[in-house]
Amino acid sequence: MALNLDRSNVATRENRIGSITGYIGSLSDLANQSNCGTLKGCSRCFSQSSTCLSSCALGQLSAIRDIAIIHHGPSGCSAASADTYYLDKVMAKKRGITNNTVYVGTDMDEKDTIFGSSESLRRIILEVNRRYSPKAIFVTSSCATGIIGEDIDSVIDDVKEEVEVPVVAVHCEGFKSRIWATGFDISDHAVLSSIVQPPKQKRNTINFKNFYESARPEIIAIFKSFDLEPIFLYCNSTVEELSHISESLATTCICGTLGNYLGNGLEEKYGVPYIRTINPLGIAGFETWLREIGKVTDRSGAVEKYIEEQRAIYLPQIEGIKKELKGLKAVLGMGPGYTFEVSRVLDELGIKVVWALAWHYDKKYDNGDVPPSMQYLLENDVDFEASVADQQNYEVMNILNKYQPDLYLSRHPGSTVWAIKNGTPAVYVADEYMIFGYKHTLEFAQSLLESIHNRSFEKNLARRVKLPYTDWWYQQNVDEFLEEVKK
Amino acid sequence: MAKLLDKQRYKCALAAMQTVQAITRAIPVLHSGPGCAQKLSDSIGSSGYFSPNIFPCTSINEKDVVFGGTKKLETTIENALKVIDADLYVVLTGCIPEIVGDDTGEIVSHFENAEKPVIYASTAGFKGNNYIGHEQIIDAIIDQYIEKSEDREKGLVNIWADVPYQDLFWLGNIRELEKLLEELGLTPNTIFGYQRGIDNINRISKAEFNLLVSPWVSVGNMKKMEKKFGIPYLHYPTLPIGAFETSKFLREVGKFAGVDEEKAETIINEHENYYYYLIERYADMFLETRVMAKQFSVVADAQYALGITKFLVNDLGLFPAKQFVVDDTPKKFQEQIKKEFQNLNYGIKADVSFETDGYKIHNEIKEHDYHGYPLILGSYYEKELTEEMFGHYLNISWPVQDKVVLNDFYAGYTGGIKLIEDIYSVAVQRWN
């Protein structure tokens, strides 16, 4: 599907690639229905809070160094600016650099919702530019500005003459999509359409889309042995670096949900190949991914040599731990960019996935294919019960209560806490590199083992707390509140 | 009118979902976009019997914006009552339903006969910040839940203080205020925190008086209860931190409640003796820590800006540079709060600025001569600034990223000692 970079607004994942947030069945059924085009997402007549797409969009953009975000809306929308301030400072400090990105709000009030506030917004943009001289200014909407029809695009057109750096409209009304990952697309769209420049020369760089670059030093080392240089995006990126990403040899991403739009966009517009393998988590994932990079960059020989060396170090150790993990049962709840990848790793480690929840599901990626992680599982005869729920915690708890697994794994804040209160050992797979490559796959296996071994914390806590759900709910089927899509 | 909110120190009215969360077994039901709860909760310390991802939410989408979201609200409340085990269901409206004109009150009225009480509060983000939202929640409880009582329980006093969660120390502070009142022989009643909930709400209208410990937050709630239930109130504008203010607090509350003066003095005397026993042991530290200068600034909401200023001046003999109140205090309260800042020992007057623009605050701090290393008590935004000025920094107001507080507090005699410990734990890390 062609991406339209001339418009400031991005179509939602629901509309663009048929993504859904409501489904219960099995992995094979989910995949078959996606392939046949019969998959229809369900809505819910009861739901619990989840995530705003603006958090994803602005979480990405605000990690870029020395830029400004102007969040036009009431003060709650820009509340994330406080976390951003902290994150930008500590992430830069870790690298030994500085980041002077500012994220401000506009504290819209009731009068603004009636009379509009484009004049105030204009003044605010100019004042932020005067105060901080940012390298780019992203001006973003909110639910309130969206509904009253505040014309942010016109305000931006109006100030462009007075501001010497890119001023970019970022349309992220929270009601637009139930799939917060649409926010990732929105941020990629802003970068692609306003920051990235056409290539002037080819470089031996690989664009590496990730979240918080924790594995940066080791990835630099791995790529160096192939005479490649990774450019990590967008945490600690500079606007200057971003302007050159069209000159890279390829784009890769630690999470398909995160990098899909940018990867496809760079490929479509500038011919930069997007690595579309399963992700580099676990052994099969890491090797498949590395080999593809070798192929695309014509470095297969060096890659095979590296794989051989590393296998000798790590495979015997991983095999050792597998014996102790064999037969454990797990439930997991993550974004789809991880659920089906981590399921594969658990299968590799001999752990049985009894139920996998994906917080949403993309029937197709922007290139029109079924997500590779699903394809891989099906080709390898792995199947399990699966559901799609946008972090509906009550459904997770119902499943945990029914299946009583040995382990619950989740990637999103606020989810593992509830498993622990249920007495289920839980592992928070927060860091995107937690299962990256051989070394971290081994560490991951070790931490799973440690988590099920010492159960003191969850036992102590579970013994003392009452769960907030009624007995009635635990007696219902998980799909109690799912409704067929109304035509 | 929209303004540049640079280094913001409050959230929107819907963040008063945290006020509801602080009432044990009360659950916020959000009529809002799907991500408001997550955005408005703090990244750590938001768990509990309920956490933001338990809060039922209508998760408004594009269709609801066009056609209205009342049907979804109805099924959400109906099923929340079935799925969630709570004592009180508080529907909070976000921006979208209030702009498109959903009649939330009408939908909530369908649940008048539900097994558990369901009430609602108008908390659209554009209606004000979370200090105002907090008042809206208490108003909703007063207007829609509490019934007037003709009975008065002797010595029963409702205590109201600043905004839970927005105030890092809310839990410890309110427990300490309770303890102080108990010592006076009164029976405190509060609705927030451990083992405080619907039963405490049910007792509110039986109280002899309301005690409000806050510069301005909840003054409106007190007036409403006075009018509706005939409960008088004592407004004590300063959070008592340390001996000077806490003794004053005990005297005033005692007097208002008709506690025997001698009894109050005995209690005060005992506390002050121990307080100064501790301070005497560390008197060398106060005088001989080379890096401690005299001047300080607080960048916080009115509660902490005022409470800490009074403590540092009246107890520790420090000197106020400019103080910054950052909670967007309504204009009608500003004069009165200013007067409090001018009412310090030895005729000392603190210059105070009501300012929400962090850029301007930082410029003023940078330009001021603190006659030595500045002491800055503020939010996380002041950390880097203070480091650049080689000053001492303590994170006491939102946003907090520099410390974890489970149970600590600054209120009362004990809280004053704790604040001393925190300040000097920073100072002693340097020699000169």
Average pLDDT in the A279-306 region? 96
pLDDT at A36: 81
Q: How many residues does chain B have?
A: 432
Question: Which sign, positive or negative, has the C-alpha torsion A133, A134, A140, A144?
Answer: negative
* A147 close contact with B: CB closer than 8 A: yes
pLDDT in tens, B222-278: 999 999 999 999 999 999 999 999 999 999 999 999 999 999 999 999 999 999 999
Instruction: Record the pTM.
Output: 0.96
Q: Phi/psi of residue B119, each to 5°?
A: -130, 175
Q: Which CATH architecture has domain B275-427?
A: 3-Layer(aba) Sandwich (3.40)
Of all residues in chain A, what percent carry a pLDDT higher than 70? 99
For residues A121 and A237, membership in a common domain is answered with yes
Burial (CB < 10 A; 0-12, 13-18, 19+), residue B106, is: exposed
ipTM of the complex: 0.96
Give, in order, the Cα–Cα distances in Å from B38 to each of A50, A51, A398, A419, B16: 7, 6, 22, 19, 13
pLDDT higher than 80, residue A487: no
Please name the residues between 9 and 28 in chain B that touch chain A, using a CB distance below 8 Å: 10-15, 27
Q: How many helices (H) and strands (E) does chain A have?
A: 21, 15
Of A128, A175, A428, A477, which to mutate for an interface test with B (greatest number of B Cβ within 10 Å)? A175
**What are the structural domain ranges in chain B?**
13-144, 156-270, 275-427
Q: What confidence score (pLDDT) does residue A14 get?
A: 87
Residue A84 within a domain? yes
Instruction: Taking residues A225-248, report their average pLDDT.
Output: 98
Number of domains chain A is built from = 2
List the 37-56 stretch of B: residues with Cβ below 8 A of A. Answer: 37-40, 43, 46-47, 49-56
Sort strands A22-26 and A385-389 into parallel, antiparallel or unpaired: antiparallel
B81 CB near a chain A CB, below 8 Å?
no
| Range of the structural domain that residue A439 is part of | 326-483
Q: Assess contact for A194 and A163: CB atoms under 8 A.
A: no
- Is residue A368 pLDDT above 80, yes or no? no
User: pLDDT for A389-428, tens place per residue?
Assistant: 999 999 999 999 999 999 999 998 889 999 999 999 999 9
Answer whether B379's CB lies under 8 Å from B399's CB.
yes
| A205 membership: H or E segment, kind and range | strand A205-209
Residue of B nearest to A128 (CA): B4
Note whether residue A291 is domain-resident: no
Question: Minimum mean pLDDT among A97-101, A170-174, A362-366: which range?
Answer: A362-366
**Which residues in chain B have their CB less than 8 angstroms from residue A120's CB?**
1-3
Interface of B with A in 388-427 (CB under 8 A): 398-399, 401
With a cut of 70, say whether residue A485 has pLDDT above it. no
Domain shared by A332 and A269, yes or no: no
Q: Are residues A253 and A338 in the same domain?
A: no
* pLDDT at A32 (0 to 100): 86
Task: Answer yes or no: do A477 and A384 share one domain.
Answer: yes
Domain match, A478 and A354 both: yes
CA distance A382 to chain B (A): 31
The CATH number given to whatever domain includes residue A451 is 3.40.50.1980
Dihedral sign (CA A398, A403, A405, A409): negative
SS (HEC) of chain B? CCCCECCCCCCEHHHHHHHHHCCCCEEEEEECCCCHHHHHCCCCCCCCCCCHHHCEECCCCHHHHHHCCHHHHHHHHHHHHHHECCCEEEEEECHHHHHHCCCHHHHHHCCCCCCCCEEEEECCHHHCEHHHHHHHHHHHHHHHCCCCCCCCCCCEEEEECCCECCECCHHHHHHHHHHHHHHCCCEEECCCCCCCCHHHHHHHHHCCEEEEECCCCCHHHHHHHHHHHCCCEEEECCCCEHHHHHHHHHHHHHHHHCCCHHHHHHHHHHHHHHHHHHHHHCHHHHHHCCCCCCEEEEEECHHHHHHHHHHHHHCCCCEECCEEECCCCCHHHHHHHHHHHHCCHHHCCCCEEECCCHHHHHHHHHHCCCCCCCEEEECCCHHHHHHHCCCEEEECCCCCCCCCCCCCCCCHHHHHHHHHHHHHHHHCCCCC
Q: What is the pLDDT of residues A13-68, one digit of tens each?
A: 888 888 999 999 999 999 888 888 888 888 999 999 999 999 999 999 999 999 99
Window 263-302 of A: residues touching B by CB (8 A cutoff) are: none
Q: Is residue A430 part of a domain?
A: yes
Q: Number of Cβ pairs closer than 8 Å across A and B?
A: 236
Give the residues of chain B that fall short of pLDDT 70. Answer: none
- pLDDT tier, A476 (very low <50, low <70, confident <90, very high otherwise): very high
Nearest residue, CB atoms, A127 vs list B4, B57, B80: B4
DSSP A246: G
Enumerate residues 6+ apart whose C-beta is below 8 A from A10.
A16, A171, A182, A185, A186, A189, A261
Strand B233-236 relative to strand B295-300: parallel, antiparallel, unpaired? unpaired
pLDDT digits (tens, 9 = 90+) for A116-156: 999 999 999 999 999 999 999 999 999 999 999 999 999 99
Whether A214 and A94 map to the same domain: the answer is: yes
Residues B19/B164, Cβ–Cβ less than 8 Å: yes
Q: Which of A49, A144, A465 sits opposite B37 (nearest CB)?
A: A49
User: A367 and A447: one domain?
Assistant: yes
Do A352 and A218 have their domain in common? no
Superfamily holding B13-144: Nitrogenase molybdenum iron protein domain (3.40.50.1980)
Q: Is B96–A175 a contact, with Cβ atoms under 8 angstroms apart?
A: yes
| A263 within some domain | yes
Contact B57 A72 (CB under 8 A): no
Please indicate, yes or no, if residue A283 is contained in any of the structural domains: no
Checking if the pLDDT of A244 tops 50, the result is yes
Q: Which of residues 363 through 422 in chain A touch B, CB cutoff 8 A?
A: 390-391, 393-394, 413-415, 417-418
Cα–Cα distance, B33 to A146 (Å, whole number): 13
Output the pLDDT for position A1.
Answer: 53
Q: Are A354 and A430 in contact (CB under 8 A)?
A: no
Exposed, middle or buried, B328 (CB in 10 Å: 0-12/13-18/19+)? buried
Residues A219, A347, single domain; the answer is no
- Any domain includes A86: yes
Contacts of B354 (CB under 8 A, 6+ apart): B325, B328, B329, B334
B184 close to B267: Cβ distance less than 8 angstroms: yes
Q: How far apart are the first and last CA of chain A?
A: 25
CB contact under 8 A, A414 and B86: no
Q: What is the pLDDT of residue A132?
A: 98
* Stretch 422-451 of chain A: residues touching chain B, C-beta under 8 Å: none
Q: Show residues of chain B in contact with A82, CB under 8 Å.
A: 8, 379-380, 398-399, 401
| A36 domain residue, yes or no | no
The label of the residue with tokens 């697994």 reads: A405
**Distance between CA atoms of B336 and A93, rounded to whole angstroms?**
43
What's the whole-number mean pLDDT along residues A191-214?
Answer: 97
**Residue linked to tokens 């916020």:** B28
Question: Could you give the 3-state DSSP secondary structure of residue A361?
Answer: strand
Q: Half-sphere exposure of B201 toward its Cβ, with a 13 Å CA cutoff?
A: 24
Tell me, yes or no, whether A295 lies in a domain: no
Give the model's confidence band at A430: pLDDT under 50 very low, under 70 low, under 90 confident, else very high. very high
Please say if the pLDDT value at position A270 is more than 60.
Answer: yes
Q: Is B65 on the interface with A (CB under 8 A)?
A: yes
CATH second-level architecture of B156-270? 3-Layer(aba) Sandwich (3.40)
CA dihedral B253, B259, B264, B266 (to 10 degrees): -170
Nearest to B72 by CA among B27, B104, B114: B104
For A153, A350, B45, the CA distances from A119, given in Å and listed in that order, are 13, 61, 39
pLDDT at A15: 87
Residue B223 confidence (pLDDT): 98
